[in-house]
């Protein structure tokens, strides 16, 4: 299976900050990379698919980039509702997720 490694595992930031989360695949996955946001006790929600395509209804402050093995999720200006856990997911082969990045308020 393809291993997905996110960094950092946790992150403290303030409202208005620019934040970047990275996801590295153990082998090339082309652009078969998605990003999800999960709030406590809730189901994950799709933010970005195919590495850089913004899901309908997701605020434009979220963006994704990368291809091959290295990917990033960027939040340009953190809002209070963005403090959550973020997961990357590869769908190039048997689906695997990153271990998650917990974004906390500083």
The contact set with another protein (CB under 8 A) reads 31-32, 34, 36, 38, 42-46, 49-50, 55, 87, 89, 91, 94-100
Residue nearer to another protein on the CB measure, 53 or 79: 53
Residue nearer to another protein on the CB measure, 17 or 46: 46
CB of 102 to another protein, least distance (A): 11
CB of 87 to another protein, least distance (A): 6
Q: Compute the distance between CA of residue 31 and CA of residue 51 in angstroms, rounded to an integer.
A: 5
CB of 90 to another protein, least distance (A): 10
Closest listed residue to residue 37, CA positions, set 17, 57, 18, 66: 57
Q: Compute the distance between CA of residue 48 and CA of residue 41 in angstroms, rounded to an integer.
A: 21
Residue nearer to another protein on the CB measure, 31 or 74: 31
- With a CB cutoff of 8 Å and minimum separation 6, the contacts of 81 are none
Residue nearer to another protein on the CB measure, 60 or 94: 94
CA dihedral (105, 70, 61, 17) in degrees, to 10, reads: 40
């Amino acid at each position: 299976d393809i291993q997905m490694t996110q960094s950092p595992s946790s992150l403290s930031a303030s409202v208005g900050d620019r934040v970047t989360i990275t996801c590295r695949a153990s082998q090339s996955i082309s652009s078969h990379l998605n990003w999800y946001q999960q709030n406590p006790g809730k189901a994950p929600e799709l933010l970005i698919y195919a590495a850089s395509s913004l899901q309908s209804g997701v605020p434009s402050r979220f963006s994704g980039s990368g291809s091959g093995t290295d990917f990033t999720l960027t939040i340009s200006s953190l809002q209070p509702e963005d403090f959550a856990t973020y997961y990357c997911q590869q769908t190039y082969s048997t689906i695997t997720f990153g271990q998650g990045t917990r974004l906390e308020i500083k």
